[in-house]
Structure 1
Amino acid sequence: MTSSITVAIVDGHTLTRYGLIGLVGADAEISVVGECGLGSEAEAVIASHRPDVVVLEAVLPDADGLLLARELRERHPALGIVVLTWDNQDDVLFRALDSGASAFVGKTAPNSELLGAIRHAAVAASSFTATGLAAALSRRGQAAEKAVLLALSPREREVLALLAEGQSVPAIASTMFVSLSTAKTYVSRLYDKLGATNRANAIMTALRLGLITAELPAIA
């Protein structure tokens, strides 16, 4: 079968790079057309061989591979970019996503995962895929919720609860035994922290973040 996907490999570890060349080149549908060990050499390899996909180590001896991925995406919009790394932390995954990479693969992943990522990158360069992406997004959402909750002062949490009950700002001032101007300040700070512009926005955001719960009215 004739190879249909061409690949360049950029990895600073010589043994790893040649291991990847052997692994990828053994697939009948993929051929390695270029390789290098430095980020500074990557553009020349890509310009010379015009691969469909580049497999790029996230940490290179002379460059940040994720910054290089961003530069390559800007210069070569149709190029598939597979980021390969030992570091599977969520922040590295999200940096790869933000860089415009097509796929993110850990170096401990099965061979089939890397080959699948290359195939994906060859046909959907602008679409990101990574094993564990959904779980990472969930963890990031939970972290954001916790950050907002920790950012709210006890008074602001009390204001949020009273707003959710439908109380007006004057009523909140009365309930909390503070002046109207102080109550307005609490509400304003709460809106700022929730990124809201009004009561409805604040309540919807608080519901989404799990800061308050929606309770159905009791049935007599």
Structure 2
Amino acid sequence: MSQASATRTAKKPRPEMKRLLLVDDHPIMRHGLVQLISAEPDLEVCAEAGNAADGMVAVTSRKPDLVIADLTLPDKHGLEFIKDIRALHPDLQILVLSMHDESLYAERALRAGARGYLMKETAAENLIHAVRRVLGGDIYLSDKMASVMLELLSGQRKSAASAGIDRLTDRELEVLQLIGSGRGTRQIADQLHVSVRTIDAHRAHIKDKLQLPDGNALVRYAVRWVENQQGTV
């Protein structure tokens, strides 16, 4: 090798490393993501967290470039976690990686402040592409979901928010999910750090929006809905 070639080789710049924080309550899932991300020369996992509280600590202490977060966390719903991050770190990019149906949650995640939504079933094929899109300042959605969003923006499709479960607020949807998972009113109040009266108000609003006659009908609906969500995974 000539001296000039050796000089060019020596001066070849190393790629700038982008630091990623993983927030997911499944250690096996996080391990798989670490292996996938670590294979990229310019990406590294700087920290992992199994819940929202630890995730917020890691955001502050490790200063990642991107947070990859699940929506199902043991101490706080992922949508609320996203809102917390955006309130304290408005420039931090967030990519949701979830088992939940994108048709129901992708738009909510973007409204909360995320810059992308990826379903776990397609993570192996699409995660790195999604990460690079979001780090590059773009929004990542599946082709199907992107078409839906464009149709909504262009007025060619009516918003789903006018009917059914899509009329629920993010908090009401979270309460519905907890009801369907077998939580009682007091348990839900304790988990969400609100009063029982607040949960009762959410239950009443959910019943009205879903046109359910009473509390028993609400519980039956919630249980079926949670089972259907799990069945799509």
Work out whether residues 3 and 31 of structure 1, in 8 Å CA contact, stay in contact via their aligned partners in 2. Answer: no
Taking the TM superposition and a 5 Å limit, the aligned residue runs for 1:58-207 are 58-124=71-137, 127-131=138-142, 132-137=144-149, 138=151, 142-144=157-159
Name the TM-score, length of structure 2 as normaliser: 0.57
Name the TM-score, length of structure 1 as normaliser: 0.60
Partner of 1:17: 30
- In the aligned structure 2, how far is the partner of 1:60 from the partner of 1:98? 19
Work out whether residues 118 and 130 of structure 2, in 8 Å CA contact, stay in contact via their aligned partners in 1. Answer: yes
Work out whether residues 49 and 58 of structure 2, in 8 Å CA contact, stay in contact via their aligned partners in 1. Answer: yes
**CA, structure 1 residues 135+53, in 2 after alignment: closer, same or farther (shift >3 Å)?**
same
Q: Say how many residue pairs are matched.
A: 145
Aligned residue type for 1:74: A
SS at match of 2:121: coil
Structure 2 gaps, min length 5: 1-13, 164-233
Q: CA deviation at 1:96?
A: 0.8
- In the aligned structure 1, how far is the partner of 2:70 from the partner of 2:123? 16
- Largest Rg, 1 or 2: 1
Work out whether residues 53 and 82 of structure 1, in 8 Å CA contact, stay in contact via their aligned partners in 2. Answer: yes
The alignment-based identity, stated in percent, is 26
SS at match of 1:130: coil
Say which structure is richer in helix: 2
SS at match of 1:21: helix
Aligned residue type for 2:140: T
Q: CA deviation at 1:2?
A: 4.2
Partner of 1:164: none
Partner of 1:57: 70
**What do the CA deviations read for 1:121-164 (whole angstroms, capped 9, x no partner)?**
2231xx5321123333337953449x69xxxxxxxxxxxxxxxx
**CA, structure 1 residues 119+62, in 2 after alignment: closer, same or farther (shift >3 Å)?**
same
Q: CA deviation at 1:51?
A: 0.6
When the two chains are superposed, the root-mean-square deviation of aligned CA atoms in Å is 2.3
Partner of 1:205: none
Q: CA deviation at 1:62?
A: 1.4
- In the aligned structure 2, how far is the partner of 1:26 from the partner of 1:85? 22
Structure 1 runs (4+) greater than 6 angstroms displaced:
none
Q: Which moved more, 1:99-108 or 1:134-143?
A: 134-143
